[in-house]
């Protein structure tokens, strides 16, 4: 009896919970799979990617058995490596040199994604490496093109431009142009949050500053966390505006008083537009953020192809990890 098709799960390390949950379902459903952690390719796992006139191929010498790219039928690109995986370089005798080496090697690991993608190019992918990362401004443009409301957005390094933007919209917020980050200082973690830019704060800013992304603040009834897989959406409403701590950014969790979260059915027209947006972005999986505005509009914020979906799955009993596992099994068998 021939062996079942092989699924490769590309993650960054053994600590990502959604990946662990999907793997548990793959195991329960009897699928053949191997997990390849991007962090391990730095120095733990032997591998080789070869490109020639005959094409590209890859081999990974994992603990269980060698994985040859010709035998991989489906790939889930969950994540690939962590930015802090090379932090030990900062502890070298010359901190400046160590930091420079860390930056270079991190860039090399980012480029390594392309090599791994080339070696596994024959497989069916759930999220291709070439389709990420996304640019927030281009995603907002794509959402507007398919008829989804987006917030007015400004990227600038000018206090005068921000002052005009604030005067136009009344209340505005600031967030990273790319992704949020957490910083370690003296053993404490300081995560980044979306924050409001007030007139008082603006007065304290210099005429020129590091380029930042600003958006109109949308007065919300509630927030929506939407997980999209192959055109189907599962949504959760979060009443974060009921608590001042989470009103601007739900990631500033209030563990003593968690926000109420309930399953939510997207209007069919909005779900169709979300599917159109994902198709335009060439994404078959992603976590999407919406605001349900006080005036009734559904305002799109962003989509993260690697976004966490465990909270939506747990709070709403959607078993999203099972859906991902079944998608991978079907892709491998196709």
What's the confidence (pLDDT) of residue 260? Answer: 81
What's the confidence (pLDDT) of residue 150? Answer: 98
Nearest-angstrom CA–CA distance, 87 and 103:
10
Angle at alpha carbon of residue 11, lines to 7 and 17, rounded to 5°: 100
pLDDT of 102 higher than 90: no
Q: How far is CA 240 from CA 135, 248, 277, in A?
A: 26, 8, 26
Question: Which of 27-41, 49-63, 78-92, 296-310 shows the lowest per-residue confidence on average (mean pLDDT)?
Answer: 78-92
Q: Could you tell me which of 52, 7, 13 has the C-alpha nearest to residue 26?
A: 7
pLDDT tens for 196-248 read 999 999 999 999 999 999 999 999 999 999 999 999 999 999 987 766 656 55
Rg (Cα) of the chain, in Å, rounded? Answer: 22
> How many CB atoms sit inside 10 A of residue 35's CB?
20
Q: What is the pTM of this model?
A: 0.87
Nearest-angstrom CA–CA distance, 273 and 200:
39
Across 73-97, b (16+ Cβ under 10 Å) vs e yields bbbbbbbbbbeebbeebeeeeeeee
Q: Residue 134 has which token pair?
A: 């996304």
Q: What is the DSSP annotation of 79-104?
A: ----GGGGGGGGGSSSHHHHHHHHHH
pLDDT of 94 higher than 60: yes
Q: Could you tell me which of 242, 229, 218 has the C-alpha nearest to residue 290?
A: 218
What's the confidence (pLDDT) of residue 245? Answer: 58
SS3 state of residue 250: coil
Q: Could you tell me which of 334, 327, 324, 329 has the C-alpha nearest to residue 16?
A: 324
Question: Which of 104-108, 120-124, 225-229 shows the lowest per-residue confidence on average (mean pLDDT)?
Answer: 104-108
Residue 188: strand pairing partners = 185
pLDDT of 1 higher than 60: no
Nearest-angstrom CA–CA distance, 302 and 142:
11
Q: What dihedral angle (degrees, nearest 10) is formed by the CA atoms of 55, 56, 59, 60?
A: -170
Q: Could you tell me which of 127, 116, 126, 123 has the C-alpha nearest to residue 6?
A: 123
> How many CB atoms sit inside 10 A of residue 192's CB?
14
Going by pLDDT thresholds of 50, 70 and 90, the confidence category of residue 100 is confident
pLDDT of 154 higher than 70: yes
SS (H, E, C) 156-215: EEEHHHHHHHHHHHCCEEEECCCCCCEEEECCEEEECCCEEECHHHHHCCCCEEEEEEEE
Q: Could you tell me which of 153, 22, 147, 112 has the C-alpha nearest to residue 75?
A: 22
């Amino acid at each position: 009896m021939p062996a079942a098709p092989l699924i490769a799960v590309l993650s960054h390390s053994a600590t990502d919970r959604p990946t662990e949950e999907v793997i548990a379902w793959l195991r329960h459903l009897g699928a053949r799979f191997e997990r390849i952690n991007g962090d391990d390719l730095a120095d733990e796992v032997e591998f080789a990617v070869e490109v020639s006139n005959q094409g590209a191929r890859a081999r990974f010498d994992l603990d269980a058995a060698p994985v040859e790219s010709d035998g991989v039928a489906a790939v889930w690109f969950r994540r690939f490596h962590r930015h802090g995986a090379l932090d030990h370089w900062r502890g070298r005798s010359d901190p400046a040199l160590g930091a420079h080496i860390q930056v270079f090697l991190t860039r090399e690991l980012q480029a390594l994604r392309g090599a791994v993608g080339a070696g596994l190019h024959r497989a069916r992918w759930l999220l291709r490496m070439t389709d990420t990362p996304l640019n927030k401004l281009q995603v907002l443009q794509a959402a507007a093109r398919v008829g989804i409301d987006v917030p007015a957005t400004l990227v600038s390094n000018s206090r005068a431009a921000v002052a005009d933007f604030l005067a136009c919209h009344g209340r505005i917020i600031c967030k990273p142009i790319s992704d949020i980050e957490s910083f370690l200082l003296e053993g404490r973690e300081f995560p980044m949050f979306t924050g409001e830019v007030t007139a008082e704060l603006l007065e304290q800013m210099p005429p020129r500053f590091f380029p930042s992304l600003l958006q109109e603040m949308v007065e919300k009834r509630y927030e929506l966390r939407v997980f999209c897989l192959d055109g189907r959406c599962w949504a959760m409403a979060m009443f974060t505006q009921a608590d001042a701590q989470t009103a601007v950014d739900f990631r500033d969790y209030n563990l003593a008083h968690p926000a109420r979260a309930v399953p939510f059915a997207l209007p069919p027209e909005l779900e169709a537009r979300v599917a159109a947006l994902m198709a335009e972005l060439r994404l078959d999986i992603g976590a999407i953020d919406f605001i349900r505005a006080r005036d009734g509009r559904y305002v799109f914020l962003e989509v993260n192809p690697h976004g966490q979906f465990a909270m939506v799955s747990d709070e709403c009993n959607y078993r999203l990890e099972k859906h991902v596992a079944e998608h991978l099994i079907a892709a491998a068998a196709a």
